[in-house]
Chain A
Amino acid sequence: MRKSLRINHHPLLGEMDKKVISFTYNGEKLQGLEGEPIAVALLANHIRILRRHEESGSARGLYCGIGHCMECRVELLGKGQVRACLTPLKEGMEIREGSRLPNAITGRVDS
């Protein structure tokens, strides 16, 4: 297994004291810290692909990290599409790669 990307002992910022919890991504069982954004928990597990582009299918991941770009949309069971960079992780969350958004939101017209 690859080394986690967590910065456990930051020389200036210290430690993150948050509880370790479990969740799944595309069915795989993973661990993350309670309350951290979903995208952060995935990144710590070396997972960067959060969705695929509606038309071209190209892989997309976190880009702005602060809720502006909408690139990090994932599917959260029971909630629908959420921005992974803003949505806090909770115990037992079931998350999947983001799927296509409804046209009502994108303004896209099917042709």
Chain B
Amino acid sequence: MSAVSTTTASRVHTDPSRWRDLVDSDERAEFAASVRAHLGARFGPDAARACFDAAQPAEAWREIAAADYPVIGLPEAMGGAGSIVDAVAMVEAAGPALVPLPLVSTVTAWQTVAHAGRPSEGRAYEVSSERRAALAVVDGTDELVVLDGALADEVVLVDVRGAAVRVSVADVSDAVTAVHRHVDPGRPTAVLDRTRLSETVLADGRTDVDAVLAPARTVLAADLTGVGATALDRAVRHALEREQFGKRIGAFQGIKHRLADVYVAVERARSLTRAAAVALASDGTSDLSAAELALLAKAAATDAAVDSTRAYVQVLGAMGMTFEADAHLYFRRAQQTAPFLGSAADCYRAAALVRREDHR
């Protein structure tokens, strides 16, 4: 080729049509709307608030299983249908409902398995919507800190200690040694004792940790984007109602510009999350590595969710500091999910390293 410079962008394919799936088809948009309506009516802030006094409503998993949400976007061989883009749309649409059950952790676990490469026994690992799962990264000790692991039936382990990344699965049974509910009791953190797990290896053919974690990061990014978008909507609603100094507070630029910046953060996260999902769905044909896009998406969505929920509290004023206002519930969800699979700073840094490696 003539005139091609070796700039960063030169690795990038120029045919934009491969990214069409960034925008929902009518069918997917309808599906997302139905998820939002269903979960919003069934759960929502009151269900999340109830988790402060009572256990997670484990019995309600039946309804999630009946809708088959956990297997949406999995390959047919695993018992699913559609692509990870559908899973991402579903998870984002679940954001407003603050689902107090391990839906997101189950999707991260199964999507990790789906993209981990060929299972060693040559047969896909079949999953069912009835089973709840969680994801654990094994990088040091046998004490595994797992997002939303309290109700998990199975845990998918990504062992990053060796040269090859090993993906395995185990029944949780009695491996939970502690559950921490203080950040977000609707999505608690569990500590698992790895020595009590009996693991079945599903894949160990890949060496790139960030590629193996890309589906899970993308799903968490969709969750955080959904939480951020919801907090923004609710903050805007309040800014349109509350009056001070004879004006609706949304007229003040201090409020307006802050919410505009949150809107930018949310759309920035949404664009990157969708792009990561499209790249994963079209495995091998995307122009940027899915690993890099998933890191950028997770970082951007973490920023968006934390900034947005923080702004939601601020816009409510003192009411934002009360148990009855919903703002702290969304803020808690954002803070609970934020550190898993890398903080925003960790993910930005790792993405820069991936880009630098590709640039060589």
Bound pair (A, B): no
Q: Which residues of B contact A (CB under 8 A)?
A: none
B-contacting residues of A (Cβ < 8 Å)?
none
